[in-house]
Amino acid sequence: MKTKSLAFFKLVQIQQSLPVLLFSTLLGAASTKSDLRLSLVYVLFANLMVSCFFSILRNLQFAPVDMSDPKNRVKNPIAAGTFSVKASQTMEGVLVILAIVLYSLAGNEILITGLGIILITFILSWRKLGLHRIVLLKTNPQHWLLNSLFCLLGGLSLQMPPNPELFLAVAFIGTSLIYTTLIDYTHLTYPQKPQRRVTIGLIASLTIAILIGITLFILLAILPVWILILFGLLLAIMLLPKMAEQIRQGQRLSFEPKILRTALFRSASLCLLIHFLAPFLFKLFNG
């Protein structure tokens, strides 16, 4: 049972996708400067269903290819034989139905947008279509397009029509994840010296993300100062073990992109959860 559970988590890639999904959805919601409502909870869980569906569909589509590669076969529970094709298809169907039900509970506009996102996930994962050959369209649990749309839904769940801050939040998520996608591509393909076009893409996406971030968090102040301070503290706490290890070994302080990214997204998602839950719990216990 434990083995099956661990294989399921690997199949849906929850460890990689959940922090980014939470951050994306809740940032969109935070851009509206609204309080927590049930519609946001529906959207958050629906987005989780879609993200899991996306990962299962990718593993299902690429299982025939991954079977011939020992390295990829270990990463893909369907190719490894842990889950059958039929069982995986059943899980896909259940996840899609749950997502549609949850989106419909959040409103008609959310449902229509959610159905569009489900269609996009199918198109992105369709191996025969060949979109995975394009760097920025490769299927991964932190896909920039999918999480940008999750951000949009997070905002729409609390405010309709959308405000300009929501579109800035969507752009921030998109450019930030494009940057991380290009970083991963560079380390895998051009570890010594990336191509010029990739370098331009890295500089452009990072610059735009920083400018939008300054606008959102400083000029427009969509989040209170104490949340930004909490983010800094949580990030430091998460990076502290690695820093202590490097100091103990007499090494220069440096972080691999994957370690830094994981700490950033986990810290940010926790802060946004606190941002919405703290006022809700305060009102709940103080009548």
Q: 201: number of CA atoms within 13 Å, CB side?
A: 18
Helices 257-285 and 225-248 cross at an angle (nearest 10°) of 140
pLDDT tens digits for 23-82?
Answer: 999 999 999 999 899 999 999 999 999 999 999 988 888 888 778 777 777 788 888 878
Q: Domains of the chain (ranges plus CATH)?
A: 2-160 (1.10.357.140), 223-287 (no CATH)
Report pLDDT for 64. Answer: 81
Contacts of 162 (CB under 8 A, 6+ apart): 152, 155, 156
pLDDT, greater one: 114 or 189: 114
pLDDT tens digits for 151-186?
Answer: 999 999 999 888 999 999 999 999 999 999 998 888
The yes-or-no verdict on residue 199 having pLDDT over 70 is: yes
The yes-or-no verdict on residue 94 having pLDDT over 80 is: yes
Query: How far is Cα 60 from Cα 65, in angstroms, rounded to an integer?
Result: 10
Report pLDDT for 120. Answer: 93
Report pLDDT for 109. Answer: 92
